[in-house]
Amino acid sequence: MFRAGKLTVAVTALLALAGGFLGVSAAAASQPQAATAGENYVIGTDTTFAPFEYRENGELTGIDMDLIRDIAENQGFTVEIKSLGFDAALQALQSNQVDGVIAGMSITDERKLIFDFSDPYFDSGVQMAVAEDNTEITGYADLAGETVVAKRGSEGETFANSIKDEYDFTVKALADSATMYDDVKAGNSVAVFDDYPVLAYGINQNNGLKSVTEKEQGSSYGFAVNKGQNPELLAAFNTGLAELQDNGDYQAILDTYLEQPAPAAASGFFGLLSDSIPALMKGLGLTLLATGLSILIALVLGVVFGFFKVSESRILRGIASVYVSIFRGTPLLVQAFFFYFGLPQLTGQSIDVLTAGVLTLSLNAGAYMTEIVRGGIQSVDPGQTEAGRSLGLGYVTTMRRVVLPQAVKIMTPSFINQFVMTLKDTSLLAVIGFAELTYQGQQIYAANFRTGETLLIVAALYFIVINLLTMLSNKLDKRFNK
């Protein structure tokens, strides 16, 4: 857990302080092995970067995964792996949402300014690949006027950008290897820049690409923690790595993944369907959970701020207007990034992904609900209120017995609409690593490269669920709002 990690930092700091007083060095006062023993660390990784991390039958596997798990075991700590995507993993590390990152991450001078790296564990380098049937692009010189793709935040992207002016091409950034390769195969980009062991592995698995250039001199991979944080974890990683290298375990891991035999035969559409349904159902469950929680909170927010909006008090109306304009005036995606990555950086308090997701969706939907409630109340003829009041009913009673029953009838279709929108909006939370339906779909095609079919299945699931729920809501509406 992150909190445990923080505690360890505190303990290490205390030890260092005590050591300082006693005149011994911090290293002598705390043994790295003891400092990590029994701890659980959250480790961020890429969605797919085979053979370093990828999914097989739903399980995360690969060189990085075996390495971190074996090192943890060797050093007596445990790890919880979060498959976030490369750029998102680095963001999560910076905002302390994870304690460390292992993601085929190159040790570069720029990154050393913000992260501390372990000893290098694998030498890599960037290479260019094109579609198998492409005979036109045989080197950088053929890229003039074309678009190439690279992973956002990666060394491949940095390299492509460093030569794009010289060779006159455009660099487009995508978040994960699977969509990058698809982009090249679909002809949207003519080439991809990625790490050569990963390209080589994919090409060997018949991913539809071929490499046409030599690999560029590249950096080595390292395990990263935030600068100055979790030093005991870094030390334990280095000690563990050295031990695995000595006892042959490290070589055995490399051999397992680098000498991967021929690719498995692709199963048909129904094979894909039955393989992916368990993970997708798990995702659908989380989608519905996030939707349900968010809509409930949004309803409360909408009622409160909706009444503020129609109240006599200028202050209350002002508060409601500010709230609505903030959440309606900024994109949901930006809000999600803010709550998950931004807020923790500003406050130093980490937030789990479900909380951040529900916070984003409910505040966002709450703003729209506010307007629905306001509109509903205001659309009831003022004559109704006047009639109620002139019959001697108080404001509250008039609201409750005369205005609201009519207003709710008017509001219900808009509520149902908002509910459907919020359900669909949960898919945006995939970018912060919330394991809902879209995220699960991405994980699946990241592993099997069958993007089109997987997305069709995902879309069909949304379609079915949304239409069933809409039908149900309309039925309830008819029944109760006669």
Spatial distance between the Cα atoms of 124 and 132, rounded to a whole number of angstroms: 23
Minimum separation from the CB atom of position 112 to ligand GLN (A) = 12
Please report whether residue 86 would count as binding ligand GLN according to CB under 6 A. yes
- Which window, 104-112, 129-137, 324-332, 447-455, contacts ligand GLN (CB under 6 A)? 104-112
Spatial distance between the Cα atoms of 348 and 6, rounded to a whole number of angstroms: 11
* CA-based torsion, 447, 450, 453, 459: positive or negative: positive
Minimum separation from the CB atom of position 467 to ligand GLN (A) = 38
- Please pick, from the candidates 66, 116, 155, 249, the single residue that binds ligand GLN as defined by CB under 6 A: 155
Pairing of strands 191-195, 147-151: parallel
Structure tokens that stand for 206 in this block = 């018949």
H/E element holding 100? strand 100-101
- Which window, 148-156, 234-242, 270-278, 293-301, contacts ligand GLN (CB under 6 A)? 148-156
Spatial distance between the Cα atoms of 71 and 66, rounded to a whole number of angstroms: 8
CA-to-CA dists, residue 273 to 238, 256, 444, 453, 461, angstroms: 42, 28, 11, 9, 11
Looking at beta carbons only, is 104 or 231 nearer to ligand GLN? 104
Contact in structure between 96 and 351 (CB atoms under 8 Å): no
- Which window, 31-39, 103-111, 129-137, 382-390, contacts ligand GLN (CB under 6 A)? 103-111
User: 269-290: buried (b, 16+ CB within 10 Å) or exposed (e) per residue?
Assistant: eeebbeebeebbeebbebbbeb
Looking at beta carbons only, is 118 or 124 nearer to ligand GLN? 124
Looking at beta carbons only, is 158 or 470 nearer to ligand GLN? 158
Tell me which residue of 335, 339, 358 sits closest to 349, measured CA to CA: 339
Looking at beta carbons only, is 102 or 272 nearer to ligand GLN? 102
- Which window, 101-109, 201-209, 223-231, 412-420, contacts ligand GLN (CB under 6 A)? 101-109
Looking at beta carbons only, is 108 or 417 nearer to ligand GLN? 108
H/E element holding 170? strand 170-174
- Please pick, from the candidates 127, 154, 451, 454, the single residue that binds ligand GLN as defined by CB under 6 A: 154
Q: 3-state DSSP call for residue 257? A: helix
- Which window, 23-31, 150-158, 203-211, 368-376, contacts ligand GLN (CB under 6 A)? 150-158
Lay out the site mask for ligand GLN across 32-71 (x = CB under 6 A, - = otherwise): --------------x--x----------------------
The set of residues, in sequence order, having a beta carbon less than 8 Å from that of 178 and lying 6+ positions away, is 47, 48, 442, 445, 446, 447, 449, 451
Spatial distance between the Cα atoms of 121 and 130, rounded to a whole number of angstroms: 28
DSSP 357: H
Minimum separation from the CB atom of position 23 to ligand GLN (A) = 41
Tell me which residue of 125, 171, 129 sits closest to 150, measured CA to CA: 171
- Please pick, from the candidates 79, 81, 105, 199, the single residue that binds ligand GLN as defined by CB under 6 A: 105
Minimum separation from the CB atom of position 104 to ligand GLN (A) = 4
Looking at beta carbons only, is 86 or 223 nearer to ligand GLN? 86
Looking at beta carbons only, is 98 or 284 nearer to ligand GLN? 98
Looking at beta carbons only, is 103 or 236 nearer to ligand GLN? 103
- Please pick, from the candidates 183, 195, 249, 425, the single residue that binds ligand GLN as defined by CB under 6 A: 195
Structure tokens that stand for 358 in this block = 């529900």
Please report whether residue 159 would count as binding ligand GLN according to CB under 6 A. no
Q: Footprint of ligand GLN on this chain (CB under 6 A)?
A: 46, 49, 86, 103-106, 124, 151, 154-155, 195
